[in-house]
Amino acid sequence: MTSRKLSRRSEELSPFHVMDILAQAKALSQQGKTVYHLEIGEPDFATAEPIVDAGIEALKQFKTHYTPALGLPELRDAVAEYYDRKFSLKISPQRIVITPGASGALQLAISCLCDAGDNVLLADPGYPCNQNIAHILATETIAIPVSAENHYQLDATSVAQHWNGRTRAAMVATPSNPTGTILPKQQLISLSELVERKQGRLIVDEIYQGLVYENEDYTALEVSDECFVINSFSKYFGMTGWRVGWMVVPEFYVDAIDRIAQNIFLAPPTISQYAALTALKAETQVILDARRDEFKRRRDFLLPALQQLGFDIAVKPQGAFYIYANCERFTDDSFSWVKRLLIEQGVALTPGIDFGTHQANIHCRFAYTQSLEKLEQAVDRINAFISK
Ligand SMILES: Cc1ncc(COP(=O)(O)O)c(C=O)c1O
C-alpha cells in the first residue's frame, strides 16, 4: 500500500480558524445573502494603474527570465532611494534583498539565523504565520503575552525574562497585525539594545509601513543597522497578489541569504519586480497616500462606532487596517460568537484564536478593508446582533 505518512511538522501545523469563517461566508454569498467581509487582511483597492501598466509593459518586453536571487539590481537601488527619500537614511543597496513578499523574507530571516531546536521570541497576539513558518523550519517559538500597557508589543523586560540559551531572535511587527498598534520608538530602542547585548537579532516586520495615521512613521533602521527589517509591496503599495517584498539585513548575512534564496525561491517574480519599480516612484505615492487617507477615514469611523457598541479597545490603533477589540461584554467564546454573527447577520470577523492564545477567546479582529458605506452597514448589523 502507498504510504500516506505526513511529516510531523506538517501534521502539527494549526489551521486558521478564519478559513471556517471564509467557507461559511462563501456559502452565504452563494445563497444570495450579503456578507460584510471584515475578516480580510488585504486592501480592497486593486493595484494602482501605473503599477499594473508597468507589469504589462515588462511582459510585453518579454522580461520573463529569472533575476538574480537577491533581486533586480535596479529595484534594490530603488528601495535604497526610497529610504533616503522617506527617512533621509543612506542604506547600501547591497544590504537590500528582494523577496517573494514579507513571507519570503520571514523564511529567509529564520533560515539564516536559526538551527533546529533554536527559538525565536514573538508577541501573543501576533501574526500567526510567524509561528508556523518557524515550525516548518524546525525552529521553536516562545510566545510572550502582550497587552495594552506595552502597546501590544514586546518590550525589553519581557524579552529578557523569556530569553534562553537557544534564543536567536526576537520578532516584532510595527504597526502590528492584529492590533494596528505601533511599537513606540523608545521601546524599540531598549529592545534593540537588549537583543544586541544577548548577541541575538531583532527582526522587525514593517509590512504596514506607510499605513500610519498619526505619530511618526519611522523605520527600525533609524535605530540600528544590526536588525533585520522586513517590508513588502503587499499592503501600502496594494500588491498582495504580486508576491514581492524586501528585507534589509546587516551586510554579514547577505551571502548566506543569497545561497538560501537561490535554493528555495531561485528568484522573486520578475514581472512583479518591474512593477514594484513603478510602485516606489514619487508620482505613484500620491495615489497610495490617497488610499492611506481613505483607510484613516474608515478607522476614524469604525473605532468610535465599535466603542459605542460596547467593545473595549484599550490602545488606539495607529496604523495597518485592523482593530483588535475586546468583546468580553458579549461573549467569553469569541470563535463561536463570530460564527453566530456571520450566520445571523452576515458580518465576517477574525476570531482572537487565530493570533495566539493570550485572552484570545475574548477578542476579535475587525479589518477595515471595506468601503465606509459597507462598514456603516456592518456596524448596524452588529448592533442588531448584540441588541437581541
Ligand atoms: C504582519 C505581517 N507580516 C507578513 C505578512 C505577509 O505578507 P506578504 O507575504 O503578502 O508580504 C502579513 C500578511 O498579512 C502580515 O500581516
pLDDT in tens, 183-224: 999 999 999 999 999 999 999 999 999 999 988 899 999 999
Percent of all residues in the chain with a pLDDT value above 70, rounded to a whole number: 100
Distance 102 CA to ligand 1 centre (A): 6
Sheet holding 350-351, edge to edge: 322-326, 363-367, 350-351
Distance 207 CA to ligand 1 centre (A): 6
Global pTM reads 0.96
How confident is the model at residue 230, as a pLDDT?
A: 98
How confident is the model at residue 38, as a pLDDT?
A: 96
How confident is the model at residue 169, as a pLDDT?
A: 98
Which residue shows C-alpha cell 495607529? Answer: 318
How confident is the model at residue 123, as a pLDDT?
A: 98
Any atom of ligand 1 within 6 Å of the Cβ of 179: no
Alpha carbon separation from 96 to 10, 76, 328 (Å, rounded)? 31, 6, 44
Distance 103 CA to ligand 1 centre (A): 6
Any atom of ligand 1 within 6 Å of the Cβ of 173: yes
Percent of all residues in the chain with a pLDDT value above 90, rounded to a whole number: 90
Give the atom of ligand 1 at the shortest distance from the alpha carbon of 245: 11
User: How big is the chain by its Cα radius of gyration, in Å?
Assistant: 21
- For residue 336, the cross-strand partners are none
Any atom of ligand 1 within 6 Å of the Cβ of 130: no
Contacts for 343 with CB less than 8 Å, ≥ 6 apart: 24, 28
Give the atom of ligand 1 at the shortest distance from the alpha carbon of 232: 11
Which residue shows C-alpha cell 543612506? Answer: 90
Any atom of ligand 1 within 6 Å of the Cβ of 126: no
Distance 372 CA to ligand 1 centre (A): 24
Distance 208 CA to ligand 1 centre (A): 9
Any atom of ligand 1 within 6 Å of the Cβ of 207: yes
Q: What is the mean pLDDT of residues 296-318?
A: 97
pLDDT in tens, 242-286: 999 999 999 999 999 999 999 999 999 999 999 999 999 999 999
pLDDT in tens, 330-354: 999 999 999 999 999 999 999 999 9
Any atom of ligand 1 within 6 Å of the Cβ of 206: no
If pLDDT is split at 50, 70 and 90, which confidence band does 93 have? very high
Statement: residue 1 has pLDDT above 80: no
Three-state SS annotation for the chain: CCCCCCCHHHHHCCCCHHHHHHHHHHHHHHCCCCCEECCCCCCCCCCCHHHHHHHHHHHHCCCCCCCCCCCCHHHHHHHHHHHHHHHCCCCCHHHEEEECHHHHHHHHHHHHHCCCCCEEEEEECCCHHHHHHHHHCCCEEEEEECCHHHCCCCCHHHHHHHCCCCEEEEEEECCCCCCCCCCCHHHHHHHHHHHHHCCCEEEEECCCCCCECCCCCCCHHHCCCCCEEEEECCCCCCCHHHCCEEEECCHHHHHHHHHHHHHHCCCCCHHHHHHHHHHCCHHHHHHHHHHHHHHHHHHHHHHHHHHHHCCECCCCCCECCEEEEECCCCCCCHHHHHHHHHHHHCEECEEHHHHCCCCHHHEEEEECCCCHHHHHHHHHHHHHHHHC
Q: Is the peptide bond before 175 cis (omega within 30 degrees of 0)?
A: yes
Contact 178, 324 (CB under 8 A): yes
How confident is the model at residue 236, as a pLDDT?
A: 98
Any atom of ligand 1 within 6 Å of the Cβ of 322: no
Distance 327 CA to ligand 1 centre (A): 25
The residue whose CA is least distant from atom 7 of ligand 1 is 102
Distance 206 CA to ligand 1 centre (A): 9
Ramachandran region of residue 359, left (φ > 0), alpha (ψ -120 to 50) or beta?
left
